[in-house]
Amino acid sequence: MNTENLTDLIQKGAVIDADKKRVELAVISSCGSESKIVGYFPSESIRVLAYDIHEKNIPDLSFEKVGKGRYLRINCCKSGRCEFKRKDGMSAYISSGEVSMDYYIDDDGTFSLTAEDYVGVEIIMQVDNVIEEIPTLAMLKKAIKRMDLPAYATNINSLYFVDASRDTVNTLNKLLKYCFSDYDCEAIIIKISELGYNIGIDLAASKPNVRTFVTPNQTHISEDIHQCLTDKYGEKWTVSVFAEKYGVSPSTIKNYFRNVYGYGFKEYQVKIRMTRAAEMLRDTKLDIKEISEKVGYLSRAKFGEAFSNYYGVTPFNYRCNANIEKAENNFEEE
């Protein structure tokens, strides 16, 4: 980090640890929740940003690019959703369990990260210089080679996605733990190398997909649908209702929603209903039939079938298991 960067970050309230090359910025939102960004800057050509944020308009911990060459950007999402917005207003989204990658040159700045309720890691490196800067980065050589996108996926300013494997997710979790637990920069570099190695294996195992960018209007429509499905999950929403509302075809509505949220319309509807049902089974004493009606199932039998298909156990057994777990936790606390 140069002096100008450090001054800007201090003015934003960031805590700087020069020895660890670490920056921590905490932001309290209007509703009182705390968001945190931790940045590690091992050299001029690489940065690592760990996000645990619950607020939009988070201050940027960016660094100034030095020299010419390609910059490889990797974003690994543990939970939540974040948006990549281009200068032309078009957006693409990354969701839980996904890894996104893109190349950009110099100060193109085509993508910027905005997020809300998002936990994940962003790594940016100038791939042509990062190995040569300091000896401790030599371990990244093989990882960077593995993270090199295939020939068909190296278009500048194209965003590519791949599903994270279990090994990648486990390494991501450990990296996040290190970042938020004030580990030394050297430990972060080791975990970056491991993460890059695993992402390389994921790339080899499944061809990365180009994510479709959507217009602001398509995003607005999708967010309206999402709010209805999430806040009024017990009502009978259909694709046709929204197709008629916005004057487009049902297939168009499905495409909009999937491009923004990564789920099909029906898939997400089932997901949110089952999640809410599980919460009520764990945290309330409501009758199972009453819960089934609250989440939009008039038939208890159909609700039980849907719940079993989603969680692998019946609602009754899920509640029993949750009660046993609560009792065990209370016993341990005593």
Could you give all domains of the chain from N- to C-terminal order, each with its CATH number? Answer: 3-210 (no CATH), 216-333 (1.10.10.60)
pTM beyond cutoff 0.75 = no
pLDDT of residue 129: 73
How far is the C-alpha of 304 from the C-alpha of 202, rounded, in Å?
A: 36
Report the alpha-carbon angle 93-99-103, nearest 5. 85
pLDDT of residue 159: 73
Closest CA to 175 of 121, 124, 137, 125: 121
Q: Name every residue whose Cβ is closer than 8 Å to that of residue 244 and which is 6 or more positions away in sequence.
A: none
How far is the C-alpha of 119 from the C-alpha of 124, rounded, in Å?
A: 17
Residue 118 near residue 79, CB atoms below 8 Å:
yes
Residue 90 near residue 149, CB atoms below 8 Å:
no
How far is the C-alpha of 282 from the C-alpha of 278, rounded, in Å?
A: 6
Residue 80 near residue 120, CB atoms below 8 Å:
yes
How far is the C-alpha of 64 from the C-alpha of 2, rounded, in Å?
A: 8
What does the DSSP 8-state code read for residue 12? Answer: T
pLDDT by residue, tens only, the chain of 334 residues: 344 444 555 556 778 888 888 988 887 665 667 888 898 988 878 889 999 987 766 555 555 555 566 778 888 999 888 887 777 778 888 888 888 887 776 555 455 555 667 899 998 887 767 666 655 555 555 555 555 555 544 454 567 788 889 999 999 999 999 999 999 998 998 898 889 888 888 887 776 666 678 898 998 999 999 999 999 999 989 999 999 999 999 999 999 998 888 788 999 999 999 999 999 999 999 999 999 999 999 999 999 999 999 999 999 999 999 888 877 776 655 5
CA separation, residue 107 to residues 48, 64, 66, 141, 209 (Å): 18, 9, 10, 24, 25
Residue 94 near residue 75, CB atoms below 8 Å:
yes
Closest CA to 75 of 223, 226, 186, 176: 176
> Based on the number of CB atoms within 10 Å of its own CB, is 87 exposed (0-12), middle (13-18) or buried (19 or more)?
exposed
Q: How many CA atoms lie within 13 A of 109 on its CB side?
A: 6
Residue 41 near residue 33, CB atoms below 8 Å:
no
Residue 227 near residue 287, CB atoms below 8 Å:
no
Q: How many CA atoms lie within 13 A of 251 on its CB side?
A: 0
pLDDT of residue 95: 81
The tokens of 100 are what?
Answer: 């996104």
How far is the C-alpha of 22 from the C-alpha of 185, rounded, in Å?
A: 7
At residue 31, what are phi and psi to the nearest 5 degrees? Answer: -90, 0
pLDDT of residue 152: 44
The tokens of 278 are what?
Answer: 């599980």
